[in-house]
Amino acid sequence: MRWIWPCLYVALLSCGACAQIAGIDGDYVVDGEGGSATGTATGNGGGVAGTGGDAGSGGAGTGTASGTGTGTASGTGGGLPEDCLDGVDNDGNQLVDCEDPLCQSGYECVPEVPTGWLGIYRLATAQYPVASPACPNGDEGEIYFEGLGDAATCSSCSCGSAQNGDCTLPTMSCYEDSSSCSTSVDVTSPADTNCHDFPYGFLCSGGCSSGQKCQISSQASLVGSPSCPASGGAVTLPDMWQQQHDVCHYDSLGAGCGSGMVCVAKGAAPYDDPACVIQADAGACPAGWTDEIHAYADANDTRDCSDCTCSAQGLSCTGGMVTVYNDNGCGGSNMSVSGTSCHEVGDYTDDKTGSYRVTAATVSGTCTAAGGDPIGAVEPTNPTRICCLP
């Protein structure tokens, strides 16, 4: 019966070859006269187990044959792309969201949003005002403001010359053959500022030997309601705020973190600061969220400058007088007649020539400016507490 072993040997070789083909790596063993064969296979990506060799056929008489066959296979891969915020193991590697190494470069674990707060948010902070940068997640952001603007600045107030007031013309009375401006009046100046010749009868032939006296008999007086125009007080408004916080909301939260934690996308510049939560201003920040910002959603700006005013003090008429000339037509030498003194004018009324002209008084005095002070303020509304991780 020894002829049967070559055939069995060939059969066993064939089975080992099958294991090599099907399982990537196959082994076989021939044992004793009965014979045995073993095949194993391992592979990546859904491998198929190798087929063990067939049992040897027992010989006639006392011959025995045994055969065993084993096969193993393991594989990884072949899943979907990992979604880092859906709480599902998409790629089949038994790791969810923030656990998966594929997510850890762009995602992080942060504490759950505390009860009564809104989140998760990320901030971009800059000096006010600045154009709001787009949110990395494509959502439309919100804007909050911090640090109230300074008070208005006002230009100085000033006063112009008095207006809406006038002065009456002074009146001159002249006396012929008088020593004290106390006899009957011979000449009274008319109420205008034209040049007037003295009446012929008042003039002297040659030199005046008798007293020719003139005196201001009625001083100029203030009439009307004079006032001084005010100017200035122009307002300049500084910026309403000092800082601007642009805020982006990250509402998709994943798993793969420890107890009390959630997975959230990291921010991209300029929204790359730590995560934050937000609430209408109602107390201290929750535990762990220690970076505190007191901000506002809006404000009423009432800043301005008070009106400039001018108060007139000591306004009166000054400078009114009558000028007496040596010649007719207000020419030649002259003298001024002003105040209440009695003036001798004989040297200007001799040789039958002489004239006079009234000069009007002007309003004078002091105008004091007031006002032009900063008033109002930036009055913030909708206070908001922003609390961020340190």
Q: Cα separation of 99 and 115, whole Å? A: 25
Please give the share of the chain, as a percent, with pLDDT higher than 90: 65
Predicted confidence (pLDDT) per residue in 362-385, tens digit:
988 889 999 999 999 999 999 999
Q: Regarding predicted confidence, which is higher, 316 or 65?
A: 316
- In angstroms, how far is CA 24 from the centroid of its own chain? 70
Angstrom CA distances, 390 to 135, 289, 290, stand at: 21, 7, 6
* Contact of 243 with 125, CB cutoff 8 Å: yes
Closest CA to 230 of 163, 304, 157: 157
Cβ neighbors of 251 (< 8 A, separation 6 or more) are none
How is residue 4 written in tokens?
A: 């049967």
* Residue 37 predicted with pLDDT over 70: no
DSSP 21: H
* Contact of 88 with 40, CB cutoff 8 Å: no
Predicted confidence (pLDDT) per residue in 82-136, tens digit:
899 999 999 999 999 999 999 999 999 999 999 999 999 999 999 999 999 999 8
The predicted model scores a pTM of 0.59
Q: Regarding predicted confidence, which is higher, 67 or 198?
A: 198
- Lowest pLDDT segment from 160-169, 176-185, 321-330, 358-367: 176-185
* Residue 223 predicted with pLDDT over 60: yes
How is residue 304 written in tokens?
A: 């301005």
How is residue 299 written in tokens?
A: 């404000």
Average pLDDT over residues 187-198: 93
Report residue 139's pLDDT band, with 50, 70 and 90 as the boundaries.
Answer: confident
* Residue 343 predicted with pLDDT over 80: yes
Closest CA to 124 of 293, 360, 255: 293
* Contact of 107 with 85, CB cutoff 8 Å: yes
> What single-letter amino acid sits at 387?
C
The residue written with tokens 């900063």 in the block is 374
